[in-house]
Amino acid sequence: MTEPVLRISGITKSFGALRASEDVTLDLCAGEIHALIGPNGAGKSTLIAQIAGALAPDSGTIKLEGRDVTAQSTVARARAGLARTFQISSLAMEDTVLQNAMLGALGARQGRLGLFGSVMRDTGLRETARAALDEVGLGEFAGFRVGDLSHGQRRQLEVAVALTLKPRVLLMDEPMAGLGAEGTAQMVPMLQRLKHTAPILLIEHDMDAVFQLADRISVLVYGQIIATDAPDAIRTDPRVREAYLGDDLGEDAV
């Protein structure tokens, strides 16, 4: 069996008496979207923060391509290929789409930030940035000011910036939030394509999008994974339906 690209083993994290993550084990394999769902307060954000390196687990390990990154900083993990999107938007609204993507590509080179002008003349960076923009469907918007893009296009640009890091794994925190039906309809096929570039660990409250996109779904309740399975099996799993207490789990909602 091939080694998963990302392997989370036995992650536990407490805040005082509260176990926000309890012996969480899950993995992400090449070419897949693995969605992490769970009711409010289940511990999804806490888990993602530990995977990205923003929060240290009390115990457990995180391995990226077989390498233990549990003790590494967020920046070291990002350079190793763990890219997180959508938590905080770091886009520069006054700059163009291409300039934003090029600054992202510069970060991937681990280079020092040079003078803005000389960075923008760097043909290697420009090519990396243009390829990333093409990949998310923003090639034609390279010269637009970010401030003039739609909400959905900014999300696409955030993904492009992440792609300039040549990620091995994409951690996506609620990519559909606030997008509306049209934005979501653009984002879904983009993520379906992107999973072949880097597998995606997806946290998302939009259950229709989750059930359309996910190859596997893990359900987190009170810090514990209660089920990991294909979408159809998750939809009909009695433990999952009980945990959601009638919340919308797609067309067969309880």
- Chain contacts with ligand ATP (rule: CB under 6 A): 15, 18, 20, 38, 40-46
Give 16 or 238: the residue with its C-beta nearer to ligand ATP: 16
* Buried b / exposed e along 167-182 (16+ C-beta atoms within 10 A): bbbbbbbbbbeebeee
Give the CA count within 13 Å in the CB-facing half-sphere of 105: 23
Q: How far is the CB of 132 from ligand ATP (least distance, A)?
A: 28
Q: Which residue lies nearer to ligand ATP by CB, 43 or 57?
A: 43
Q: What are the beta bridge partners of residue 37? A: 219
Residues 6+ apart with CB under 8 A from 107: 164, 165
Least separation in angstroms between residue 13's CB and ligand ATP is 9
41 vs 178, which CB is nearer to ligand ATP?
Answer: 41
| Shortest distance in whole angstroms from residue 213 CB to ligand ATP | 18
Minimum Å gap between C-beta 91 and ligand ATP is: 23
Closest CA to 30 of 55, 6, 63, 61: 6
CB-nearer residue toward ligand ATP: 43 or 104: 43
The smaller minimum CB distance to ligand ATP, of residues 20 and 213, is found at 20
Buried b (16+ CB within 10 A) or exposed e, 31-64: ebbbbbbbeeebbbbbbbbbbbbebebeebebbb
- Nearest-approach distance from CB 121 to ligand ATP, in angstroms: 42
